[in-house]
């Protein structure tokens, strides 16, 4: 079987500003009908990557391919308007002096009747037919966003580049618009490269996440895998709060107050971090100092005293001051249980959910 050709492929893209690599050897593929999310903290090079693909900025080196054809390298360059790439940005700015219909039809060429049909079809699809002749200022933020989507989709781009397009919308509205936008893009078989700094947005929308840091992609995969098999501590910490327990490797084991952990691959005598998310810490009652009766899988329990407990809705976030070394550990518990500060409880670590990383020094 032939391997399918990606709709968009970028190979080893590089971009320097003032001698600093802001995009450093980035490679990606996006298949038709798929959403890849470029996820990373502000300033890591996401927008610069997108601008190079759009063609509004030139890479120092690397290649951009669309449907198996070269679109841009350092010698050859297809101009932006001939790349058939749709763009959607946070400040998507509709033309204020043009009606909704004319905004949507702005990038369309060809005969007038066909143009009108396409405009009506798209406004119908985003549920805004009744605003055909309205002006942008008469629409809510969410409605304007849908017009912007219709405008970007009108010329049937094979690729859609989206740079934090939902960050200007309020939370409740955003979820609905995200889902609706995705549904439409999938229907059109568009390849989507979405930029965001929000892990929840990436996990909600992406078929594949490319986690970016300091200009590089540090991990790439399905959201489930990136979340559950992080490459290092900061990749893990980008998605949620984490607890870090340090220890030293002795005879392939690390001794901790929570018992011994296997440390495959770590050097004898080296320092390692055991990293665990708050939701994977188990809590049990003190029972007058006798503590829980752990299963072998739970390892050794360690006692701590509640320092702070915050009610978060579906769960509570509890901070414990640990008896053994005075460190703080965070655990989430179902909201039926909101312990008071000062209460002693026992914590256990779910071994199948913790990760061991070498301490970089």
Q: In the stretch 160-179, what mask flags binding to Mg ion with x, by CB under 5 A?
A: --------------------
Q: How many CA atoms lie within 13 A of 294 on its CB side?
A: 22
Quick check: 17 binds ligand ADP (CB under 6 A)? yes
Compare residues 56 and 229 and give the one whose CB is closer to Mg ion.
56
Compare residues 143 and 164 and give the one whose CB is closer to Mg ion.
164
* Closest chain position to Mg ion (CB): 47
Closest approach, Cβ 220 to ligand ADP, in A, equals 16
Paired residues of 66 in beta bridges: 8, 69
Q: Which of 42, 69, 109, 293 binds ligand ADP (CB under 6 A)?
A: 42
Q: Which of 7, 13, 44, 47 binds Mg ion (CB under 5 A)?
A: 47
Compare residues 47 and 144 and give the one whose CB is closer to Mg ion.
47
Report residue 84: phi and psi, to 5°: 55, 45
Those residues with Cβ within 8 angstroms of residue 227's Cβ, 6 or more apart along the chain or in another chain: 203, 239
Q: Which does 329 bind (CB under 5 to 8 A by kind): Mg ion, ligand ADP, none?
A: none
Compare residues 92 and 355 and give the one whose CB is closer to ligand ADP.
92
Q: Are 128 and 51 in contact (CB under 8 A)?
A: no
Angle CA 326–328–333, to nearest 5: 130
Beta strands in the chain (DSSP E): 8-17, 20-30, 35-39, 61-66, 69-72, 85-89, 159-163, 191-196, 208-213, 216-221, 243-250, 253-256, 259-262, 271-276, 281-285, 302-311, 315-322, 328-334, 344-349, 355-358
The stretch near Mg ion (CB under 5 A) out of 46-54, 82-90, 227-235, 338-346 is 46-54
The stretch near Mg ion (CB under 5 A) out of 45-53, 198-206, 221-229, 341-349 is 45-53
Quick check: 196 binds Mg ion (CB under 5 A)? no
Closest approach, Cβ 180 to ligand ADP, in A, equals 25
The stretch near ligand ADP (CB under 6 A) out of 36-44, 67-75, 104-112, 179-187 is 36-44
Q: Which does 48 bind (CB under 5 to 8 A by kind): Mg ion, ligand ADP, none?
A: ligand ADP
Q: Which does 22 bind (CB under 5 to 8 A by kind): ligand ADP, Mg ion, none?
A: ligand ADP
Closest approach, Cβ 243 to Mg ion, in A, equals 30
Q: Are 251 and 294 in contact (CB under 8 A)?
A: no
Q: In the stretch 44-83, what mask flags binding to ligand ADP with x, by CB under 6 A?
A: xxxxx-----------------------------------
Distance CA 282, CA 345 (A): 10
SS3 content of the chain, % helix, strand, coil (to 5): 25, 35, 40
Q: Which does 95 bind (CB under 5 to 8 A by kind): Mg ion, ligand ADP, none?
A: none
Question: Do the strands 159-163 and 85-89 form a parallel or antiparallel pair, or are they unpaired?
Answer: parallel
Number of residues that bind Mg ion (CB under 5 A): 1
Q: Which does 79 bind (CB under 5 to 8 A by kind): Mg ion, ligand ADP, none?
A: none
Paired residues of 253 in beta bridges: 250, 262
Q: Which does 44 bind (CB under 5 to 8 A by kind): ligand ADP, Mg ion, none?
A: ligand ADP
Q: Are 36 and 221 in contact (CB under 8 A)?
A: no
Q: Are 50 and 15 in contact (CB under 8 A)?
A: no
Task: Please give the residue ranges that form the binding site for ligand ADP (CB under 6 A).
Answer: 17, 22, 40, 42-48
Task: Please give the residue ranges that form the binding site for Mg ion (CB under 5 A).
Answer: 47
């Amino acid at each position: 079987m032939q391997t399918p050709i990606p709709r968009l492929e970028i190979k080893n893209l590089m971009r320097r500003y003032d001698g600093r690599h802001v995009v450093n050897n980035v490679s990606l593929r996006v298949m038709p009908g798929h959403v890849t999310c470029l996820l990373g903290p502000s300033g890591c090079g996401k927008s610069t990557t997108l601008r190079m693909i759009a063609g509004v900025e030139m890479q120092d080196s690397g290649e951009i391919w669309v449907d198996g054809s070269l679109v841009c390298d350092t010698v050859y360059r297809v101009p932006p308007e001939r790349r058939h790439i749709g763009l959607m940005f946070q400040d998507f700015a509709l033309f204020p002096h043009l009606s909704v219909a004319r905004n949507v039809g702005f990038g369309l060429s060809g005969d007038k009747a066909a143009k009108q049909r396409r405009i009506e079809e798209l406004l119908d699809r985003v549920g805004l037919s009744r605003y055909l002749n309205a002006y942008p200022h008469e629409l809510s933020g969410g409605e304007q966003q849908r017009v912007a989507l219709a405008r970007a989709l009108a010329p049937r781009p094979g690729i859609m580049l989206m740079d934090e397009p939902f960050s200007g919308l309020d939370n409740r509205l955003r979820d609905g618009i995200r889902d609706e936008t995705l549904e439409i893009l999938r229907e059109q078989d568009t390849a989507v490269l979405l930029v965001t700094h929000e892990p929840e947005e990436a996990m909600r929308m992406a078929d594949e996440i490319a986690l970016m840091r300091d200009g590089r992609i540090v991990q790439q995969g399905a959201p489930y895998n990136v979340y559950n098999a992080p490459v290092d501590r900061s990749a893990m910490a980008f998605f949620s709060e984490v607890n870090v327990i340090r220890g030293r490797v002795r005879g392939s084991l690390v001794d901790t107050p929570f018992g011994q952990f296997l440390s495959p691959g770590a050097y004898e005598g080296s320092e390692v971090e055991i990293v665990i998310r708050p939701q994977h810490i188990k809590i049990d009652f003190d029972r007058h100092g006798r503590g829980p009766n752990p299963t072998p899988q739970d390892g050794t329990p360690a006692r701590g005293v509640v320092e702070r407990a915050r009610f978060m809705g579906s769960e509570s976030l509890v901070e414990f001051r640990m008896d053994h070394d005075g460190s703080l550990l965070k655990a989430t518990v179902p909201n039926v249980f909101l312990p008071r500060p000062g209460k002693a409880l026992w914590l256990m670590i779910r071994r199948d959910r913790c990760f061991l990383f070498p301490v970089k020094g």
